[in-house]
Amino acid sequence: MNNGPLLFLGIFFTIAFSWSGIVLTNLVQQTEAGATQPLFDKDTEKVVPAPMTGDAKQGQQVYAELGCVYCHSQQVRNSLSRDGGTSVDVERNYGRRPNVARDYIQDGRIFLGTMRTGPDLRNVGQRLPSVDWHMQHLYNPQITSKDSIMPPFPFLFEEREIVGEPSPKALRLTGDWAPPPGYEVVPTARAEALVAYLLSLRTDYDLPEAPKSVE
């Protein structure tokens, strides 16, 4: 008698049962800790983490399309410095505290990443809140960061002739980066959405399960 099918089913159900146990146990633990839901901050009267706006959601898609996750992580890690003090990532000014699971529950798609060819971006909206800076950095990173090896994204912008008054959205470019006289460089809708997403990346709140912010 061929016992192969029964053996296969036995192995399958054993693995499935074990996997389900791990997942369900983790879910129960998170539910007991309240970590599966946003919090209402009584001090600020806001929900934390804040839900992502429409522009930021569109920018998240642009972030995915451009493959930003291959060079940037979005996780302030809890690895301690050699002296056992604060997180190395906190010392690098990547954020005020290490991230925890609840920080990502409003994100939909999560881009933790594994590579850090560039700095971590989980709190880039907090440490670099300037729209102009991000626009120039996307147009050509060497404008804002001379030694950057990040590729430029000029296709996210349009160089066009100025008709009437210059656009208030035009990039403030000088020197070798400036467009020809009578022309301006303006961001496309994709660039504006991407910058909105980057500015939304901030962990400027505390959670019960997270270490207190570093002041």
47-50: long-range contacts at Cβ-Cβ below 8 A with a sequence spacing of 24 or more? 48/205, 48/207, 49/102, 49/103, 49/104, 49/105, 49/106, 49/203, 49/205, 50/106, 50/200
What's the number of domains the chain is made of?
2
φ and ψ at residue 31, rounded to 5 degrees: -65, -40
d(CA 61, CA 106): 15
In a domain, 118, yes or no: yes
Confidence (pLDDT) at 44: 79
In a domain, 144, yes or no: yes
pTM of structure: 0.80
Is the CB of residue 199 less than 8 Å from the CB of residue 129? yes
Note the pLDDT tens digit of each residue in 180-213.
Answer: 999 999 999 999 999 999 999 999 998 988 866 5
Same domain, yes or no: 144 and 67 = yes
Which residues form the domain of 195? Answer: 41-200
Mean pLDDT along residues 29-37: 56
In a domain, 205, yes or no: no
From residue 149, give the alpha-carbon distance in Å to each of 73, 113, 152, 187, 196: 16, 18, 9, 22, 23
pLDDT band at 33 (very low <50, low <70, confident <90, very high): very low
Same domain, yes or no: 29 and 95 = no
Same domain, yes or no: 47 and 69 = yes
Same domain, yes or no: 100 and 171 = yes
Note the pLDDT tens digit of each residue in 94-136.
Answer: 999 999 999 999 999 999 998 999 999 999 999 999 999 999 9
In a domain, 58, yes or no: yes
